Amino acid sequence: MTRMREKNLDDDVVATIVGVLEGWSGRLSWEALIKAVERRAGLSYTRQTLHRHERIRLAFAVRKKVLSGQTDEGSREAMSPELQVALDRIARLEAENLRLAAENNALLEQFAVWSYNAQTRNLTREFLNKPLPGVDREPSEPRVSKKPSATNDKTR
């Protein structure tokens, strides 16, 4: 068995994993998610690595909650393929909407903490809204090293 490669969790990989979670149907577990990520992206991660990322952990919790409230979907077999595709798309969009709402609430809570801390330090709104300094992207001049001359000054 070949070992899958492990890549650092950058924004693109996190978005892929969150996308897998948003389209999830059936029983959801960390082990099942790890296998699905291996199949979809060819990347292998541990449960701890995935759980450490807030967006993944939040998407997992939201999807698990949605799936636990669903009833038996045996009646979907009689539906037309177009209707099934539409229902799957609706379910994915609803899951994404729930995840984004949860992320937004977490960001609002973080903002409230920062706002309180800024107020206790007497930081004004003007100070907090100052634009970031520009980035100087000009190439730096090469440093000229000053090596001692090879001639001996004592011979003069």
Of 112 and 6, more confident: 112
Confidence label for 80 from pLDDT (cuts 50, 70 and 90): confident
| Phi and psi at residue 43, to the nearest 5° | -120, 145
Separation CA 74–CA 28 (nearest Å): 18
Q: Of 4, 86, 91, 76, which Cα lies nearest the Cα of 39?
A: 4
| pLDDT tens per residue, range 97-135 | 988 999 999 999 999 999 999 999 999 989 999 999 988
Confidence label for 1 from pLDDT (cuts 50, 70 and 90): very low
Of 105 and 80, more confident: 105
Helices (H) and strands (E) in the chain, counts: 6, 0
Which DSSP symbol is given to 107? H
| Geometric angle at alpha carbon 44, from 6 and 22, rounded to 5° | 120
Share above pLDDT 90 across residues of the chain, in percent, rounded to a whole number: 28
For 122, the 3-state DSSP assignment is: coil
Confidence label for 3 from pLDDT (cuts 50, 70 and 90): very low
Q: Of 71, 73, 49, which Cα lies nearest the Cα of 60?
A: 49
